[in-house]
Amino acid sequence: MKDSNHKHCLFCQRDEQQVPLVQVDFKGATYWICPQHIPVLIHDPSKLEGFLPGAKELQAG
């Protein structure tokens, strides 16, 4: 069950009760990501396509 007001990692869906979450603002929307998946966002953001709309555009050249 998904509650859009409920914070959870956009990648693994764990919530703030389970992991610390870091806020990610992107294209006017707010997302949350856990420390374990921050490296994915940094190094391989194309993996977030499907989780984070537009993530493909983040791919480094």
Count Cβ neighbours within 10 Å for each residue of 21-47 and write b for 16 or more, e otherwise: beebebeeeebbbbeebeebbeeebeb
Question: Would you give the binding string for Zn ion spanning residues 20-39, x where CB under 5 A is met?
Answer: --------------x--x--
Determine the interface stretch with Zn ion among 1-9, 20-28, 39-47, 52-60 (rule: CB under 5 A): 1-9
**11 is an interface residue for Zn ion by CB under 5 A:** yes
Q: How far is it, in rounded angstroms, from Cα 48 to Cα 29?
A: 15
Name the residues that contact Zn ion, by CB under 5 A.
9, 11-12, 34, 37
